[in-house]
Amino acid sequence: MLVYCYAAGIFGSEAIVEQMHEDTHFRALCGDDYPDWHQLRRFRRLNRPVIQHCLEELLARIRGAASALERDVPRWSSQWLASPDSREPNPRAAIAREANDRLNRAAQLDSMALDK
């Protein structure tokens, strides 16, 4: 669930919980038993390496599918997915940086929410 949200550009744990309540697919996945945003934040913190690996794999698949189909990637993906830089010596490194940036953005938004 977190990997999907981070790939889709939903980063804050509060926003993810809100999405779970609004989206019928999320409700079905959760069986109407939702974690709160503190639990999501803690899960991300305790499982960051695994989440990053899964996010990298998903972003790589999105990028590969877009290239193979010669189509635009979903509107919520980053520009780097839509037009991979042919000068990038290591595309996997770019994907790893993007995944790391998304996880950092999620952590930053959650920290800001705690400061409220």
Nearest residue to 110 (alpha-carbon basis) of 60, 55, 59, 36: 36
Distance from chain centroid for Cα 59: 9
pLDDT at 116: 64
Q: How many domains does the chain have?
A: 1
pLDDT at 77: 52
What the block records as the tokens of 51 is 């989440």
Q: Report the C-alpha gap between 61 and 18 in whole angstroms.
A: 27
Q: Report the C-alpha gap between 75 and 86 in whole angstroms.
A: 21
Nearest residue to 94 (alpha-carbon basis) of 73, 79, 107, 104: 79
Question: Using one digit for the tens of pLDDT, what is the confidence trace for 59-112?
Answer: 998 887 766 555 555 554 555 554 455 556 678 888 999 999 999 999 999 998
Whether pTM > 0.85 for this model: the answer is no
Structural domain range at position 63: 2-114
Q: 37 pLDDT exceeds 70? A: yes
